[in-house]
Amino acid sequence: MTHYLSRYAQFETKEEMDPAAGQHLDIHWNQLNKTDRAILEMIRYCSVKYLAAHLKHETIEKKLGKSNSIVRRTICKLGKLQIIKRIQYVRPVMSGLGSNIYIILPVNEQGNYLERSQWE
């Protein structure tokens, strides 16, 4: 039986996901602060088994000692930088919103460079 998180995975193995997370850090180092990097690391750590993480904001807040607004702002920022993707999860039993699913995305190498028309 496959785990429900496996269907959201963007990578085949942990060995593919970890270097992508490292590349994202290298590319966006100057745009990310210490909290941003800590939250990304927590998502990466929780994604090791199924290559996707199912986390509550409250869990991240307690683990890192940050406020709800900081966690929400950081997750939004990581999404805008195309480092992670957030999927709202609806609980099948109670049909209500549950914890979010977070996926580390592959690095889009072409998206990091200016097109010729932009720099001319």
| CATH number, residue 82 | 1.10.10.10
Residue 115 belongs to some domain of the structure: no
Q: Could you tell me if residue 114 is inside a domain? A: no
Residue 59: inside a domain = yes
- In total, how many domains does the chain have? 1
pLDDT value of position 113: 47
pLDDT in tens, 37-57: 999 999 999 999 999 999 999
Could you list the residue range(s) of the whole structural domain that residue 99 is in? 4-107
Q: Is residue 9 part of a domain?
A: yes
Is the Cα torsion angle 111, 113, 115, 119 positive or negative in sign? positive
Residue 22 lies in a domain: yes
Higher pLDDT, 32 or 99: 32
Q: What pLDDT does residue 112 have?
A: 47
Residue 46 inside a domain? The answer is: yes
Q: Is the pLDDT of residue 26 over 60?
A: yes
Segment 67-99, tens digit of pLDDT: 999 999 999 999 999 999 999 877 666 656 668
Say what the pLDDT of residue 118 is.
Answer: 45
Asked if the structure places residue 27 within a domain, the reply is yes
Q: With respect to residue 56, please indicate whether it lies within any of the assigned structural domains.
A: yes
Over 50: is that where the pLDDT of 116 sits? no
Model pTM above 0.85 = no
**pLDDT for the residue numbered 30:** 94
Biggest CA pair distance of the chain:
56
Are 35 and 69 in contact by the 8 Å Cβ rule? The answer is no
Measured distance CA(53)–CA(49) in Å, rounded: 9
Residue 90 confidence (pLDDT): 73
